[in-house]
Structure 1
Amino acid sequence: MWYNNILETIGNTPLVKLNTITKGVPGTILAKIETTNPGNSIKDRMAVKMIEDAEKSGKLKPGGTIIEGTSGNTGMGLAMAAIIKGYKCIFTTTDKQSKEKVDALRAFGAEVIVCPTNVEPEDPRSYYSVSSRLEREVPNSWKPNQYDNLANSQAHYEQTGPEIWAQTEGKITHLVVGVGTGGTISGTGKYLKEKNPDIKIWGIDTYGSVFKKYKETGIFDKDEIYPYITEGIGEDFLPANVNFDVIDLFEKVTDKDAALMTRDIARKEGIFVGNSAGAAIGGLIQLKDKLKPEDVVVVIFHDHGSRYMGKMYNEDWLRERGFLQDEKLTAKSILAKKENTEIVTLDAQKSVLEAINTIKSMNISQIPVTQQGMIVGKIAESDILSALLENPGLKSAPISEIMTATFPFVDLNTSIDKISSLINKENSAVLVEDESGKIEIITQYDIINAISG
């Protein structure tokens, strides 16, 4: 048997029992592994459904351009379907999304426009607004609008819900889903509750998102909104696909817990998944007191870990955010072992001759350069020598004329490996802001001293 095209392989994803990561959680915990879809995420299901509905209604015409705001997974499903069906794709996304997701969309021939995260949805620079403007400007284009297009929920009502019901032989008691557009939880939950109204539908939210408070109070609280790192869940508005009547409760999970749990799923279960799966398991563990030994819980694992290699699966990224504390030396521990000396700087308006005298008297080879108290560059012995050989008259010129790019800045949690990699011929040191806001310098000597000490 063969399939006529890749789109026919979407769905019928496996349900796998979790054995280690959920130890201590009552019941049978099953993961719906949506990474086996051809685009490696659950979004393949609704991407094809939205396109097929648009074709039937005439909104999407032959040779048209699909324009969508997407964090990557929906874009992948749309791009894959567009190749098979003969459409072009333009996607807008945020600078919060992992580079792997953007690269994957471009690999499918899509044009990707990266927009700022920290702006209101109605701001003309937001990825929602840019995609809407492009839809108006690009001829023969169609915007699926996954947030408000109810074909999103319908895809899961028709596919994901029936699959889970059949795979658990109707024994499912709880569904746990990270909520972003709301399509997965609302469509799947609606189907399951029609089969058995006693099934509990739990939505996983993140801090910085409005869902939990809105569900519990009916209040849309703008003070709840602030930037967060977790990808794929939470929103700063209310998508039409979020059916609050179907969802029994929301549980918020921190960025740190979601990130570390994502890694644990790979390490403890051998299942390589993305950030929303970590949040979902983190939320389930927080809610474990609501479960009984006879319960059958299904957790949706939305997408694949390969899209998070530069983030949740990168130890330096985790350390920089204070998510990973281990025995490796960090900038903070190197500073703790360093002699407490004042950092020597020179103002950008000082002359090259003054820089030479400072370098000689202090017996140092490179000095950070400041302007109005801010570090804007550096001056090195080698820079001065090259400049004077070319033009001996530069002795009286300000050092701003020959300074080079500043030393790299690192975070207090940056690992010794990363710091060492940044110190090279061009940079003999790195800069770090300590807990009091004071700028400190770390040199190769400081690293050697910390290791040997």
Structure 2
Amino acid sequence: MEIYDDILETLGNTPLVRLARLHEAGNVVAKVESFNPGSSVKDRIGIEMIDAAEASGELQPGGLIVEPTSGNTGLGLAMVAALRGYRLICTAADKIPKEKVALLEAFGVEVITCPTDVEPTDPRSYYKVAERIRDERGAFLPYQYYNQSNPMAHYKTTGPEIWRQTDGEITHWVAGMGTGGTISGTAKYLKEQNPEVRVVGVDPVGSVYEHYSKHGELPPAEKIHGYLIDGIGEDFMPTAVWWDYIDEVITIDDRTAYQTVLDLSRREAIFSGSSGGAAVAGALQIADRDLADGSGLVVTLLPDSGERYLSKLNQKWLQERSLL
């Protein structure tokens, strides 16, 4: 009988899909992570971080977990918590889509929303609120931004899957940078198989990664500002980024990301969130730049589904923000 003992056993081995209608040469493919049980790439790190905490003794049976998250990591943790008897609190920036809040609450998660436009060190930020809950209530804080189990999850799973699925023919790995875990762990594995694989990060305009990749320091404060792309970009430097395996970082603006979301749904029949739109836009740019002779294979990743952003991915919301 083909029966799984729990839903997490269905994790991984998500499909690679050729984006032949967006790139006629056919050498841009996307790994569609909405096929995971929690419908996002963050399912991978949810189980990896909890497994590591259980093994180290940081997390005890029936314990409390708290995590600052844009939603997807929270759901990955929520699934593990539900199966293993943990309680979970998620702190989130108030720009989190209401769909994600409702989904987390459906899993029994307590969601605390915090101001978006404050410094990470501000006591009102969703990072600091999570730290305060850890300190005051003795909760386990996985802290995906600093937890090395984050990139290791992708070193163990995403990287090997891509290498196998492409028969080792991948030449470029292009991915959005949020915590940095997805791009980093995958890149480490791919470069161990073939050091010539070029790794390109995709960063929203207003985030810090592109500037840091060139100058080794955060940009001036006036160059760090908000953006409408969800789930990628930061205003500080997480240690989950493994810079030794990243060759360059490019920027994508809000309009390009959201236009690509629409192109994906209307031409490829794939409904992605805006971070996926940014990643695909970056992958198409790299393919046009580096694969002019038609050879090579660019692989990117769609972290989740656009269904989590329906309050944003509609004509009215897009028009009000000049994204159409």
TM-score range, shorter chain: over 0.9
Contact 2:173 2:299 in 1 (8 A): yes
Q: Which residue of the partner structure matches residue 12 of structure 2?
A: 11
Q: CA deviation at 1:27?
A: 5.5
Instruction: Give runs of aligned pairs for residues 71-90 of structure 1, distance below 5 A.
Output: 71-90=70-89
Q: For residues 283 and 168 of structure 2, what CA distance do their matches in structure 1 show?
A: 21
Instruction: Give runs of aligned pairs for residues 4-403 of structure 1, distance below 5 A.
Output: 4-23=5-24, 26=25, 28-139=27-138, 141-221=139-219, 222-287=221-286, 288-292=288-292, 293-311=294-312, 313-324=313-324
Letter in 1 for 2:162: I
Deviations 1:284-316 (A, max 9, x none): 2333212241111111111011111011x2110
Q: For residues 105 and 22 of structure 2, what CA distance do their matches in structure 1 show?
A: 35
Equivalent position SS for 1:71: coil
Contact 2:231 2:275 in 1 (8 A): yes
Letter in 1 for 2:282: G
Q: For residues 153 and 78 of structure 1, what CA distance do their matches in structure 2 show?
A: 16
Contact 2:28 2:283 in 1 (8 A): no
Contiguous gaps of at least 5 residues in structure 2: none
Contact 1:27 1:291 in 2 (8 A): no
Deviations 1:136-190 (A, max 9, x none): 1114x20000000000000000000000000001111011100000000000000
Letter in 2 for 1:17: R
Q: Which residue of the partner structure matches residue 406 of structure 1?
A: none
Letter in 2 for 1:188: T
RCO comparison, higher one (Cα < 8 Å, 6+): 2
Contact 1:27 1:294 in 2 (8 A): no
Q: For residues 16 and 217 of structure 2, what CA distance do their matches in structure 1 show?
A: 36
Q: CA deviation at 1:272?
A: 1.5
Contiguous gaps of at least 5 residues in structure 1: 325-453
Deviations 1:89-133 (A, max 9, x none): 000001112111111111111000000000000000000000000
Equivalent position SS for 1:68: strand
Deviations 1:320-350 (A, max 9, x none): 10112xxxxxxxxxxxxxxxxxxxxxxxxxx
TM-score, normalized by length of structure 1? 0.70
Letter in 2 for 1:114: T
Letter in 2 for 1:303: D
Contact 1:27 1:295 in 2 (8 A): no
Contact 2:19 2:26 in 1 (8 A): no
Letter in 1 for 2:217: I
Contact 2:66 2:140 in 1 (8 A): yes
Q: For residues 318 and 124 of structure 2, what CA distance do their matches in structure 1 show?
A: 28
Q: For residues 291 and 85 of structure 1, what CA distance do their matches in structure 2 show?
A: 47
How many equivalent residue pairs?
A: 320
Contact 2:66 2:130 in 1 (8 A): yes
Q: For residues 15 and 286 of structure 1, what CA distance do their matches in structure 2 show?
A: 19
Q: For residues 300 and 260 of structure 1, what CA distance do their matches in structure 2 show?
A: 17
Q: For residues 276 and 314 of structure 1, what CA distance do their matches in structure 2 show?
A: 16
Equivalent position SS for 2:67: strand
Equivalent position SS for 2:65: strand
Q: For residues 84 and 203 of structure 1, what CA distance do their matches in structure 2 show?
A: 34
Q: For residues 49 and 284 of structure 1, what CA distance do their matches in structure 2 show?
A: 28
Letter in 1 for 2:70: S
Letter in 2 for 1:264: D
Q: CA deviation at 1:214?
A: 0.7
Deviations 1:403-441 (A, max 9, x none): xxxxxxxxxxxxxxxxxxxxxxxxxxxxxxxxxxxxxxx
Equivalent position SS for 1:147: coil
Identity %: 51
Q: For residues 44 and 224 of structure 1, what CA distance do their matches in structure 2 show?
A: 32
Q: For residues 246 and 191 of structure 1, what CA distance do their matches in structure 2 show?
A: 9
Q: For residues 233 and 224 of structure 1, what CA distance do their matches in structure 2 show?
A: 17
Contact 2:70 2:93 in 1 (8 A): yes
- What stretches of structure 1 move > 6 A for 4+ residues in a row? none
Equivalent position SS for 2:245: coil
TM-score, normalized by length of structure 2? 0.97
Q: Which residue of the partner structure matches residue 344 of structure 1?
A: none
Deviations 1:363-403 (A, max 9, x none): xxxxxxxxxxxxxxxxxxxxxxxxxxxxxxxxxxxxxxxxx
Over the aligned positions, Cα root-mean-square deviation in angstroms equals 1.0
Q: For residues 90 and 99 of structure 1, what CA distance do their matches in structure 2 show?
A: 16
Letter in 1 for 2:204: T
